[in-house]
Structure 1
């Protein structure tokens, strides 16, 4: 669980701070014309913030699992964080808010 949170945090940092936009699935295979249609800076901020939020939720779930001495809490928290976070990122990134006008 903690490894998952660390990986999410590292990828979020790489995308947002180091501008490694090719880590965003599908973006690196787009043609230049298609890439020009999207505001990649806004999408990168969305992805990074969502990944940071998922990492925080996972860490909190892990802490709660340790406190309650029930590791299932951490597992469920991880599943919920990723199960809600990933679709949220994909749906929001494909909305009109993230396309250039």
Structure 2
């Protein structure tokens, strides 16, 4: 569990601070014309924030699972982080707010 949270935090730092947008699935295979449509700093910031929140949920669940000596809490925490974070990220990143042409509308 801790390894998952640490990986999420490392990827969040790499994407947010070092602008490694190629870590985002599908971005590095897009043609340049299609890359120009998306506002990658905003999408990268969104992804980094979601990864940080998912790591936080996992770490809190891990802490509770150790405190209460119940490993199921950790599993529920990872499941909750993914079931909440992933749909939020997909819905939000695919909205018009993250496309460059839509900012002018």
Unaligned runs of 5+ in 1: none
Q: Matches of 2:14 and 2:84 in 1, distance apart? A: 22
Please, what TM-score do these two structures have when normalized by structure 1? 0.97
Aligned to 1:86: 86
Tell me, in whole angstroms, the C-alpha distance in 2 between the residues paired with 1:74 and 1:61: 5
**Structure 1: which 4+ aligned runs deviate by more than 3 Å?**
none
Worse overlay, 88-97 or 49-58? 88-97
- Matched with 2:4 is 4
RMSD of Structure 2 on Structure 1 (CA): 0.7
- Describe how 1:1-101 pairs up with structure 2 within 5 A: 1-101=1-101
Give the length in aligned residue pairs.
101
* Cα shift readout 1:23-73 (whole Å, capped 9, x = no counterpart): 000111111111100000000000000000000010000001111110100
Q: Structure 2 stretches of 5 or more lacking a match?
A: none
Structure 2: distance between partners of 1:94 and 1:26: 13
Secondary structure of residue in 1 paired with 2:100: coil
TM-score (norm 2): 0.93
